[in-house]
Amino acid sequence: MRLATVRPVVHLVGCLMAVVLLTSSCAPPDVYASGTAQSDDPDALYRRREDLPSARRAADLWAERATADFESAWKLARTCYWLGTRGVADERRAALERGVKAGESAARFEPNRPEGHFWLAANMGILAQLFGTSQGLKYRGRIKGELERVLAIDPGWQDGSADAALGQWYFKVPRLLGGSRSKAEEHLRRALMYDLNNRLALSELADTVAAGGRRDEAIAILRQLIAAPVHPDWAPEDTDFGRKAVERLKTLER
């Protein structure tokens, strides 16, 4: 969910057997573009994740080791989150479900490290957000619990990503199911204490204050987001936040 900002986020979520998840990629290999270099460095491939064949190749390579390796498992979960939010529409649900399994494995390998817990929550969050009420009810409590676990381990991890994602959770979940606009704002502002330019936190904070009728404040926050520098590790995500902020600002300023 930086929500990475495990920015990202920090937008938070048929089931396959775990053994299939951890020995296969988030998409079949025949979808690789012929022009894409087949690097053996998954980190380099992930840095080129806007090219979907590169992201799929990274997932393949990490999946080969994810059954026994913490780093590979959480990076597979992170890549599946990307494919589940930016990939081909009819592949997204399967990618997110694989990401959940990989995140669970990472959290089991290293329960006192934040990465597995965070990316597990991120994949569940998009499943809950995009695939109906049943998914929301299934994952709602687990998402919150995993993010709170990240805060207990390292509250400042990845520029306050867990606080940014929890702010998103409190804003999007209905009040009767635990949502709270005031708690959303509290977590989002706390995330900004770690990084004033956290575009996920700024984006969610603008939505939160706008929903409370604070239009002028929302406009100021969106302008801050648009002016914020793009983080080199999160350039695709930050660029997308900036583009959406420009559109929202036009709407608010009418």
Query: What is the SS3 assignment for the chain?
Result: CCCCCCCCCCCCCCCCCHHHHCCCCCCCHHHCCCCCCCCCCHHHHHHCCCCHHHHHHHHHHHHCCCCCCHHHHHHHHHHHHHHHHHCCHHHHHHHHHHHHHHHHHHHHHCCCCHHHHHHHHHHHHHHHHHCCHHHHHHHHHHHHHHHHHHHHHCCCHHHHHHHHHHHHHHHHCCHHHCCCHHHHHHHHHHHHHHCCCCHHHHHHHHHHHHHCCCHHHHHHHHHHHHHCCCCHHHHHHHHHHHHHHHHHHHHHCC
Q: Across residues 6-14, what is the average pLDDT? A: 42
pLDDT score of 135: 72
pLDDT score of 38: 59
Q: Which residue has the higher pLDDT, 16 or 244?
A: 244
pLDDT higher than 70, residue 5: no
pLDDT score of 16: 31
Q: Across residues 42-58, what is the average pLDDT? A: 96
pLDDT score of 41: 95
Query: Tens of pLDDT along 150-194?
Result: 999 999 999 999 999 999 999 999 999 999 999 999 999 999 999
**Span of 20-34, 58-72, 79-93, 133-147 with lowest mean pLDDT:** 20-34
Give percent of the chain above pLDDT 70: 84
Q: Which residue has the higher pLDDT, 237 or 2?
A: 237
pLDDT higher than 50, residue 9: no
With a CB cutoff of 8 Å and minimum separation 6, the contacts of 229 are 197
pLDDT score of 137: 77
* Alpha carbons 202 and 222: distance in angstroms, whole number: 7
Q: Across residues 202-220, what is the average pLDDT? A: 97
Residue 68's pLDDT band, with cuts at 50, 70 and 90, is very high
Task: Check: CB of residue 105 under 8 Å from CB of residue 22.
Answer: yes
End-to-end CA distance of the chain: 31
- Each domain of the chain, given as residue ranges in start order, spans 18-193
Query: Tens of pLDDT along 108-131?
Result: 999 999 999 999 999 999 999 888
pLDDT score of 97: 95
pTM given for the model: 0.84
Give percent of the chain above pLDDT 90: 78
Q: Across residues 79-83, what is the average pLDDT? A: 97
Arithmetic mean of pLDDT over the chain: 87
Task: Check: CB of residue 77 under 8 Å from CB of residue 146.
Answer: no
- Class of domain 18-193 (CATH, top level): mainly alpha
CB atoms under 10 Å from CB of 16, counted, come to: 13
pLDDT higher than 70, residue 22: no
